[in-house]
Amino acid sequence: MKIIVLTGAGISAESGVPTFRDSDGLWEGHRVEDVATPQAYDAQPSVVHRFYDARRAALAVVEPNPAHHALARLEEVLGDDLLVVTQNIDDLHERAGSTRVLHMHGELRSALCRACGRRTPWTGDLGGLPPCPHCGASELRPDVVWFGEVPYGMAEIQDALAAADLFVSIGTSGAVYPAAGFVQYAAMHGARTLELNLQPSEGSHYFHEARHGRAGELVPAWVESLVP
Ligand SMILES: [Zn+2]
């Protein structure tokens, strides 16, 4: 059985990672358009660097939760038949042991060079404008996909959705495209679809089945039902 899992902010929130867009519409006190657009970076790179440097540093104090660990265990059994596509930019899936993870919105622990286009694993700050290890230019930006930019891996994701027997969406609002359209695309190609979310998402009615509650409880129970 081929399974594709989409994860969103809800799974990381249970590890203490602040969710993108809180109820007040702000992200850690910032307007999204001030920190998550190419225009914001061009206008005030130091503000944008400070924001992502703080979030990158904050990863050191969070840990994967039982939902991340359950998905890593599922990969141990399914191997290449499981792909985790995440909207999250933290590295909690990898730290739980998952290796087949596609970060469609980029990664905090990666830097993208605007001069040469190369991506480099990065755990420190970028605000001091360090040189790119590949080309030497001081043009490293956060390797995250901002509003108005194209997500990573869309072709690979579409192929995996089309080939999947089961599509599972975990902890996503169902509000942000293109990810919000994955459920319909997968179902159109014959996959069964399951939502595991704290509350019904905006696209909940598109799923064959939905279970609502904490990811840290729902995901281990679901994995246990597949691979006892
Ligand atoms: Zn470079």
Instruction: Write the pLDDT tens digit of every residue in 46-92.
Output: 999 999 999 999 999 999 999 999 999 999 999 999 999 999 999 99
Cα–Cα distance, 70 to 228 (Å, whole number): 11
Compute, in angstroms, the gap from residue 148 CA to the centroid of ligand 1.
22
Asked if residue 22 has pLDDT above 60, the reply is no
HSE-up (13 A, CA, CB side) for residue 135: 12
Look at the block and give the residue holding tokens 């104090």. 61
Q: Which amino acid is residue 77, in one-letter code?
A: V
Ligand 1 midpoint to CA 111 (Å): 10
Cα 45 to ligand 1 centroid, rounded to whole Å: 17
The terminus-to-terminus CA distance of the chain in angstroms comes to: 15
Token look-up 């290449």 returns: 80
Q: What are phi and psi of 146, to 5 degrees?
A: -95, 170
Q: Reply yes or no on whether the pLDDT at 23 is more than 60.
A: no
pLDDT single digits (tens) 137-180:
999 999 999 999 999 999 999 999 999 999 999 999 888 889 99
Residues with active-site annotation: 105
Which among 160, 169, 175 is positioned nearest to 222, based on CA atoms? Answer: 169
pLDDT digits (tens, 9 = 90+) for 81-91: 999 999 999 99
Residue 3 and residue 79 in contact, taking contact as beta carbons nearer than 8 Å: no
The Å distance, Cα 155 to ligand 1 centre, comes to 25
Q: Which two tokens stand for residue 57?
A: 């540093």
Q: What is the mean pLDDT of the chain?
A: 94
